[in-house]
Amino acid sequence: MKRWISGMAVSAALGIAAAGQSASAETIEIAELNWAGSSGAAQVIKVIVEDYLGEDTAIIGGDEVALFAGMARNDGTVDIFPDMWTVQLTAQWNEYIAPGSKETVRVNAVPYLGTEGVFVPGYIQEAHGITDISQMNDPEIAKLFDTDGNGKGEYWTGAAGWQSVDYNAVKAKSMGFDEYWEPVIVEVPVFEGMLDAAYKKEEPVLFYYYTPEWIFGAYDLRALNEPAYSEDCHNFIQQSEDPDWFENSEITCAQPNVPVHMAYAQSLEETAPDVAKFMSQLEITDAIMSEWIKRISADGEDAAAMAQDWVESNRDIVEDQWLAGIDHQG
C-alpha cells in the first residue's frame, strides 16, 4: 500500500534530493516470499534502500505469481521482487523481461546460479541403493517412504503456491511414478522439521530441493541421477498459460542450472532512479546467499536483524560494488 512521507521525513527527503539523490515520495514495496533466500535478500535490500538511499520501504508477502504480476503492472503494488527463480517463472520472463517483450520488469545484470533436484540422505542411498530417479517407478522402493500406510511413498515437492509443486506433478506423470508416490505440500519450516526428525532416526525421506541451501551443509544429502536436460525432454507449461497445462506439459529429464535474479519494476527508473541503479548492480554470489540462508534457517536469526548486521559488516561490498556511482548516505 502506498503512503506519503510527511513532516520531518519530507524535510529529510528534500535534503537528500538536494544532495543529488532521488528520494521519492512513495514507499518502495518489496516482495518477500516464503523461503529463506527471498527473506534474506528482501531484508538486505530494505536496509540498503532505507539507510543509504533514504527511501521509505514496506515488505509484502503473498503468492509468487501474484506478486510478480503486481510488479509487472508498474502501478506501485510491487516494486522489487528478490530471488526470482527464472525456471519457475518462464512465462513471466518471456512476457515482461525478455528483449522485445513488454519489458515492464528489469533484473540485475549478474544472477547467481541455483540448482534443483530430488534428494535422499546418504544412509538411504547406501542401505537401499537408491541412486537414480527411475527407481521411483519401483513400487517396493516407494513403499519404503510410505508413512501413512496407503502403499504410496510420500515426498515433499514444495510449499503451497510454489511452481515447483506443479512442476514435480508434471514430472511424476511424465516419468510414470505418480502411481506409486504422492506429494507432501507444506511450508519450508515444517518440511525441515520432518527432514531433521527422519535424519536423526535414519528413517527414509525423499524430497525435491534446491541449492544454495543450508541443509546441504548440515546433512549428507545426495541427488538422484536424472537424464541430462535438453529442450526436447523439458516442456513445462504454467497454469496461467493453458487451461490444459498439466496434460500438455511433459518433463522427463533434469532441470538446467537456474539463473536467480533480483527483479524490479521498470517504473523505478523514473520514480526512484537510484534504487533502480542499485538493483541493476546488485550482485549476490552463491556464497553470500548461502550465508544469509544459513543464518536465517539453521541459526534461527531474525531475517531483519541478520540483514542489518550483514550490511554493517560488509560495507565494502555494499558501498564499493552495489552502490558504485550512486550518491548515498552512510
Domains contained in the chain, CATH given: 8-112+259-322 (3.40.190.10), 114-251 (3.40.190.100)
| Stretch (H or E) spanning 310 | helix 303-313
Beta strands in 124-206, from DSSP E residues, in sequence order: 153-158, 181-185
SS3 readout for 216-253: HHHCCEEECECCCCCHHHEECCCCCCCCCHHHHCEECC
Walk along the chain (330 residues) and give the pLDDT tens digit of each residue.
222 222 223 233 323 333 333 444 489 999 999 899 999 999 999 999 999 999 999 999 998 999 999 999 999 999 999 999 997 888 899 999 999 999 999 999 999 999 999 999 999 999 999 999 999 999 999 999 999 999 999 999 999 988 899 999 999 999 999 999 999 999 999 999 999 999 999 999 999 999 889 898 889 999 999 999 999 999 999 888 899 999 999 999 999 888 999 999 999 999 999 999 999 999 999 889 989 999 999 899 999 999 999 999 999 999 999 999 999 987
**Residue among 296, 263, 303, 306 nearest 282 (CA):** 263
What is the pTM (predicted TM-score) of this model?
0.73
Helix (H, G, I), strand (E, B) or coil at 70: helix
- The whole-angstrom separation of Cα 199 and Cα 221 is 10
| Per-residue model confidence as pLDDT tens digits over 66-82 | 999 999 999 999 999 99
Q: Which of 87, 91, 65, 72 is nearest to 263 (CA)?
A: 72
| Alpha-carbon span 82 to 263, nearest angstrom | 6
Q: Is 3 exposed, middle or buried (0-12, 13-18, 19+ CB in 10 A)?
A: exposed
